[in-house]
Chain A
Amino acid sequence: MKTYVLKPMSRRQAMTLLGAAGLTCAVAPAALAGPEDVAARIAELTGGAAGDDALITLDMPEIAENGNAVKVAFDIDSPMTADNYVKAVHILADGNPEPDVATFNFSPAMGACYATTRMRLSKTQNVHVIAAFSDGSFGSAEATVKVTIGGCGG
């Protein structure tokens, strides 16, 4: 009959094992941005100023079958004159790997303020549109999009 002897573990061996365990934790799957991250990002962009959403109209699907290409369109009621125009529009998503989707920089030469693009959504989530006006104020609007098939590949 074979006998197994349980050897006491040296300190060095113990540390090596602990180190390996630590590494395993460090490479846990990449976390998705949460609503808190988006709230923090919005605060960073706007300096915490509360937005007025009456001027922004969003056009997004309520249900997106394919998260790889979700239409996002916004229309902002602005005269787009040299002293009153929309400087920038930020699109943020609170369930994607990173909150930022795209930032549009506008100029009065456009004469109107709207734009359309397509974005990826990894799961059902809220999409925020933040408008920065030339007078330093901000407006925001948000919409929830239900996503049937996520669009983050893999």
Chain B
Amino acid sequence: MSKVKPRVKVPKTAEVGELIEIKTLISHPMHSGRAVDGDGKLIPRQIINSFRASFNGTVVMSVDLKPSVSANPFFTFPFTVTESGTFDFVWVEDGGKEYTKSKKISVG
């Protein structure tokens, strides 16, 4: 299986009260369980089924994904900066395997 690699883009610094945009991408085939491989065999379902973004330990945004989400699930969403801290991003694959990525942001 190709390597699953999470990537996140968050500004390094921001002003207090500034609205920033967070971009996340994880390279993942998102096998829907409906497609067949070169030999005509059904590829079993294997998708990222949930994603969550936390800031200083509190979940700010989460997504439940179904097989209809494209390969390499990509999200952008806003966040209002109130203090310096750490973002933790977690992607959960079918079977429970988790992929994580952290980013720091500082204000001022």
Q: Could you tell me which A residues sit within 8 Å of B by CB distance?
A: 30, 68-70, 93, 96-98, 100-107, 109-121, 151-154
Contact = CB atoms under 8 A, between A and B. Distances in A.
B45 to A, nearest CB: 11
B59 interface: yes
Interface string B44-73: 000000000001001111111111111101
Interface magnitude class on chain B: 20 to 34
Interface stretch (B5-13, B75-83, B91-99, B100-108): B75-83
Given A97-B34, A153-B36, A117 B67 contact: no
Contacts of A96: 68
A97 B76 CA distance: 26
Contacts of A120: 32, 67-70
Contacts of B61: 104-107, 110, 115
A30 B19 CA distance: 44
Contact of B69 (A109, A111, A119, A154): A119
Given A100-B66, A109-B60, A117-B75, 16 more contacts: A69-B71, A70-B70, A97-B34, A98-B68, A103-B64, A107-B60, A109-B79, A110-B80, A111-B19, A113-B78, A117-B73, A120-B70, A151-B70, A152-B35, A154-B35, A154-B36
